[in-house]
Amino acid sequence: MRRLSRKKALSLVKELDAFPKVSESYVETSASGGTVSLIAFSAMALLAVLEFFVYRDTWMKYEYAVDKDFSSKLRINIDVTVAMKCQHVGADILDLAETMITSSGLQYEPVIFELTPQQRLWQRTLLLIQSRLREEHALQEVLYKTLLKGAPTALPPREDASVEPLTACRIHGHVYVNKVAGNLHITVGKPIHHPQGHAHIAAFVSHETYNFSHRIDHLSFGEEIPGIINPLDGTEKITYNSKLLHFRG
């Protein structure tokens, strides 16, 4: 009797199944079932790939804070081309405290003012982007990501070996200024500093050579960040009367 009950208990244990089996009719293969499975696996793979790209993506986050450090200097990045020879023009910065900032960080490079067809196309594209940015602010994020991938961020160099005379001057580089209001001057003659203020030596420059047509390829504040298009980048003005370029900040 005891042996019979033991066999019965073993039989019950063997028949006990915590994981119910699926009916055989549910696992029969069919063309429609295979199609649904293939679509499901493809969708899961696509979602996994998209999630990976979202994880690797770069997002722009803007934060603003009051600058309480008045003792440090502010960097200004300049790249301006003036349609006059370098020996005839000079740049200087004078702030509200009557402090003249030396322009030793700026370089004067003789160049040709007229752009090549490739450079002109680049400038027109830049101006078009500028106009679109005033309406579509989200475009800046797209440009930032695109330029980080290696797209050009400055005026491309001349490809042709032109024999035209170098009648223009490219003033480029950076200077550090006090964090107060001030003016950047580009005018006739080299700047000189004296106790009573500052002046430009222009007595030996003929009035016939005055031509302050200019092009601003780059003008920004702080450290340069690739992909950021500044408001004055690509601006060009043609004039024959002005004797001074005046930027107020």
- Give the pLDDT confidence of 126-139 residue by residue, as tens digits: 888 777 777 766 56
Q: Are 79 and 224 in contact (CB under 8 A)?
A: no
Tokens of 154: 């400055």
Give pLDDT tens digits for 16-34.
666 666 666 666 777 777 7
Q: Which domain holds residue 147?
A: 74-248
Task: Measure Cα distances from 12 to 3, 7, 38, 131, 132 in Å.
Answer: 14, 9, 41, 82, 78
DSSP letter assigned to residue 1:
-
Task: Count Cβ neighbours within 10 Å for each residue of 68-77 and write b for 16 or more, e otherwise.
Answer: eeeeeeeebb
DSSP letter assigned to residue 78:
E
The mean pLDDT value for 103-125 works out to 84
Number of domains, the chain: 1
> d(Cα 87, Cα 103) in Å, to the nearest integer?
15
Consecutive H or E run containing 9:
helix 2-15
150, pLDDT greater than 50: no
Q: What angle do CA 194, 245, 158 make, to 5 degrees?
A: 115
* Sheet with 89-95, edge to edge strand ranges: 100-101, 89-95, 182-188, 244-248
DSSP secondary structure letters along 176-244: EE-SS-EEEEEEESEEEEETTEEEEE-TTS-GGG----EEEEEEEESS--TTPPPTTTTEEE--SS--E
Domain presence at residue 10 = no
Give pLDDT tens digits for 183-216.
888 877 777 666 666 666 666 677 777 888 889 8
Domain presence at residue 122 = yes
> d(Cα 108, Cα 79) in Å, to the nearest integer?
10
Domain presence at residue 34 = no
What pLDDT, on a 0 to 100 scale, did the predictor assign at position 188?
79
What pLDDT, on a 0 to 100 scale, did the predictor assign at position 148?
46
What pLDDT, on a 0 to 100 scale, did the predictor assign at position 233?
85
Domain presence at residue 61 = no
Domain presence at residue 233 = yes
Angle, helices 117-133/139-148, rounded to nearest 10 degrees: 140
Highest mean pLDDT among 134-143, 148-157, 182-191 belongs to 182-191
What pLDDT, on a 0 to 100 scale, did the predictor assign at position 49?
92
Q: Are 93 and 182 in contact (CB under 8 A)?
A: yes
The mean pLDDT value for 112-141 works out to 78
Q: Work out the pLDDT band at 42, boundaries 50, 70, 90.
A: very high
> d(Cα 217, Cα 222) in Å, to the nearest integer?
16
Give pLDDT tens digits for 50-83.
888 878 776 667 677 888 887 888 888 989 998 8
Domain presence at residue 32 = no
> d(Cα 153, Cα 90) in Å, to the nearest integer?
26
165, pLDDT greater than 90: no
Residue 78's nearest CA partner among 249, 194, 200 is: 249
Domain presence at residue 86 = yes
Domain presence at residue 96 = yes
Q: Is the pTM of this model over 0.85?
A: no
Q: What is the 3-state secondary structure (H, E, C) of 44-62?
A: HHHHHHHHHHHHHCCCCCC
